């Protein structure tokens, strides 16, 4: 028999070679925005692998037909779960303005029509608000996670107000007209790190990450 004559005991806490490591559990993020995937992966660390729809080999345009952020987020995550059977999550965000009965809300991306132009959306928002003294607004992000077959919802809110005209050149969407509570500058005048301190998306993602880390 080809038994080794001596067995060298493994030292305690010996480094584990990559081949011996258990495969990382992966989770699909229902987006193709590589920036969003990277942000969440950084926050979660190495224990879980976050992959985009493209990386999961999924090439579909998931409809967002509902009139709440929650229902649209659920639609996206449950569609991906039905297709793959894997753990997955999705997010949906809207700008909610009380003086406009919550508009643009779930329609934030397409407020001014199907063109999806950030400038036109802002124009329509400012036109609708006109010189209303009530300029309160909030960004709200909803994340729907399907983890081991069960759905969990997480929410992140950033309160603020709408300016009378756009200022700043950073960011995207409604950033040039939105000032977060606690600051005097618009989101578009903040660096990404500064915006991240207030960000609705970050607050929702923090809760998702806390949940996922606690399940490890
Ligand atoms: P999504 O769900 O992240 O795609 O966001 C939907 C729409 O909300 C975007 O197309 C933007 O118009 C708006 N939006 C979402 N997040 C932000 C933000 O952080 N700043 C400005 N606009 C945003």
Q: Looking at the domain assignment, is residue 2 inside a domain?
A: no
Q: List all residues 6 or more positions away from 59 whose beta carbon is below 8 Å from its beta carbon.
A: 53
Q: Looking at the domain assignment, is residue 13 inside a domain?
A: no
Indicate which residue's Cα is closest to atom 14 of ligand 1.
173
> What percent of the chain has pLDDT above 90?
71
Indicate which residue's Cα is closest to atom 11 of ligand 1.
173
Q: Looking at the domain assignment, is residue 184 inside a domain?
A: yes
- Tell me what pLDDT residue 149 has: 95
Domain range enclosing 122: 21-215
Task: State if residue 75 touches ligand 1 by the CB under 6 angstroms criterion.
Answer: no
* Residues 4-42 pLDDT 10s: 444 444 444 555 555 566 667 899 999 988 888 888 888
pLDDT level of residue 1 (50, 70, 90 thresholds)? very low
Catalytically active residues, by annotation: 92
Indicate which residue's Cα is closest to atom 23 of ligand 1.
173
Pocket test for ligand 1, best of 35, 66, 71, 172 (most atoms within 8 A of CB): 172
Q: Looking at the domain assignment, is residue 118 inside a domain?
A: yes
pLDDT at 202 over 80: yes
Q: Looking at the domain assignment, is residue 11 inside a domain?
A: no
Residue 127 has which token pair? 């036109």
- Split into its structural domains, the chain has a count of 1
- For residue 194, which phi and psi values (nearest 5 degrees)? -65, -45
The answer to whether the beta carbons of residues 24 and 46 sit under 8 Å apart is yes
- Tell me what pLDDT residue 11 has: 43
Q: Looking at the domain assignment, is residue 16 inside a domain?
A: no
Beta strands in the chain (DSSP E): 25-29, 48-51, 88-96, 104-105, 136-147, 150-162, 178-180
Range ranked top by mean pLDDT from 47-61, 177-191, 195-209: 177-191
- Tell me what pLDDT residue 9 has: 44
Task: State if residue 171 touches ligand 1 by the CB under 6 angstroms criterion.
Answer: yes
How close is the Cα of 106 to the center of ligand 1, in Å? 10
- Tell me what pLDDT residue 4 has: 42
pLDDT-wise least confident of 33-37, 92-96, 107-111, 171-175: 33-37
CA dist 87 and 109 (Å) reads 27
pTM: 0.86
* Residues 133-144 pLDDT 10s: 999 999 999 999
Pocket test for ligand 1, best of 118, 141, 173 (most atoms within 8 A of CB): 173
């Amino acid at each position: 028999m080809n038994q080794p004559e001596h067995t060298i005991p493994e030292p305690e806490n010996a480094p584990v070679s990559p081949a011996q490591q258990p495969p990382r559990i992966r989770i699909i993020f229902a987006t193709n925005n590589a920036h969003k995937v990277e942000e969440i992966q950084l926050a979660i660390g190495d224990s879980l692998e976050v992959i985009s729809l493209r990386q999961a080999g999924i090439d579909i345009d998931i409809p967002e037909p509902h009139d709440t952020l929650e229902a649209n987020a659920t639609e996206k995550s449950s569609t991906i779960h039905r297709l793959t059977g894997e753990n997955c999550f999705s997010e949906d965000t809207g700008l909610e303005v009380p003086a406009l009965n919550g508009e643009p809300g779930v329609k934030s991306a397409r407020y001014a029509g199907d063109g999806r132009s950030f400038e036109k959306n802002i124009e329509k928002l400012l036109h609708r608000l006109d010189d209303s003294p009530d300029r309160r607004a909030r960004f709200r992000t909803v994340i729907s996670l399907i983890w081991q077959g069960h759905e969990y919802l997480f929410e992140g809110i950033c309160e603020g107000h709408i300016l009378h005209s756009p200022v700043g050149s950073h960011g995207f969407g409604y950033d040039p007209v939105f000032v977060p509570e606690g600051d005097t500058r618009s989101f578009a005048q903040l660096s990404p790190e500064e915006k991240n301190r207030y960000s609705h998306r970050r607050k929702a993602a923090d809760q998702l990450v806390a949940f996922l880390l606690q399940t490890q």
